[in-house]
Structure 1
Amino acid sequence: MQIKLIIDEKYAETEIHIHANAYSEQLEQLMKYLKATSTDVIDGYLQQDIYMLKITDIYSVYSEGAKIYFQTDEHEYESKRKLYELEELLEKDFVRVNKSTLVNISKIVSMKMERTGMMQLVMDNDTTAHASRMYLKGLKKRLGIGRDV
């Protein structure tokens, strides 16, 4: 793959052109990555107050019943968005580890395989999350570990 960068004042905004001889999964992933919103903050709700949370401060996003929460060091903030919307919005920094949880990949410290086939993830604030077997391959791929890398 060749990458070229051209800096020219004639462009009012950044343009990205991709030239390829065939469509591939790698191109699809690249396009999804480029289209993802590069946001630094997201809205979280604590009682009646709205907080602008830094993405880097969020350890996990999880659903409990019909509600979605952001877990940070200080609090658990509620989100008004759906989990699948947050998965798309935060895909640069987060990965789905089970049906109801996304984790910030930069916050994972260690992983331990359990007897049930699930993986226990230890975050850098000493909280844990469990990766189900269904999502384990995707997690390993995002972390760059395992045979399929």
Structure 2
Amino acid sequence: MKVEVSIDPSYKEPKIIIQTDRMTDEISDILKRLSETYMDSLAVFSDRGVEIVDCKDIVRIYAAKQKVFVQTGADIFTVRSRLYELEEKLDRQFFVRISNSEIVNMKMIKNMDISMTGTIGVLLKGDIKTYASRRYVSKIKKQLGI
């Protein structure tokens, strides 16, 4: 694929043109990525009321006891969104789903222990220990570039 950038002062806003002989999966993926907008902050609930948390401060998001929790380095909050809704809105460069009940911030992963059979131990910053299911291993590896 060739990429070309043209600087023209007459354009007040960027314009992207894709020229191709046919629609391919690669083109569809590029279009999808260009149209995606990710949130950079999240409204969460605590005993103090509604707070705004920067997504870069989130260590993990997990479901437990019929609720969805957002854990930062300092606090644990609740949100009213479901995990799949948050997964769609969060930037995939930073967040990865590691099980049916958990999404983690890849920047917060300290190490992953693959010695256990059936699951993978994940140690996050703040000494938070969690587990990734085997079902998500290939997705995790792909997002981490392994």
What TM-score does the superposition give when structure 2 sets the normalisation length? 0.85
Q: Number of aligned pairs?
A: 144
Superimposed CA distance per residue, residues 96-143 of structure 1 (whole angstroms, 9 cap, x where no aligned partner): 100100001111121111432311111122112211000010001100
Q: Deviations over 1:3-44 (max 9, x none)?
A: 2334445555444343443422x4444344333323221111
Q: Mean alpha-carbon deviation: is it higher for 113-122 or for 14-23? A: 14-23
More strand by share: 2
Question: Greater shift after overlay, 2-11 or 113-122?
Answer: 2-11
- Structure 2 counterpart of 1:81: 81
CA contact (8 A) 2:39 2:91 kept: no
For 1:59, what is the secondary structure of its paired residue? strand
1:96 counterpart residue number: 97
Give the match for residue 123 of structure 1: 124
Look up the equivalent residue of 1:80 and give its one-letter code: R
The 3 A distance-change label for structure 1 pair 131 and 5 is same
Q: Which has the larger radius of gyration?
A: 2
Residue of structure 2 equivalent to 1:107: 108
Cα pair distance change 1:29/1:120, threshold 3 Å: farther
In structure 1, how many angstroms separate the alpha carbons of the residues matched to 2:7 and 2:80?
Answer: 39
* SS of corresponding position for 1:34: helix
Q: Percent identity?
A: 31
Structure 2 match to 1:65:
65
Separation in structure 2 between the aligned mates of residue 29 and residue 108 of structure 1, nearest angstrom: 27
Distance 2:50 2:9 in 1: 39
Q: Distance in 2 between matches of 1:120 and 1:30?
A: 33
Q: Which runs of 5+ in 2 are unaligned?
A: none
Aligned CA distance change for structure 1 residues 31 and 70 (closer, same or farther; 3 Å)? farther
Residues in 1 aligned to 2:69 and 2:106: alpha-carbon distance in whole angstroms: 17
The CA RMSD over aligned residues, in Å, is 2.0
Q: Which residue of 2 aligns with 1:55?
A: 55
Provide TM-score, normalisation by structure 1. Answer: 0.83
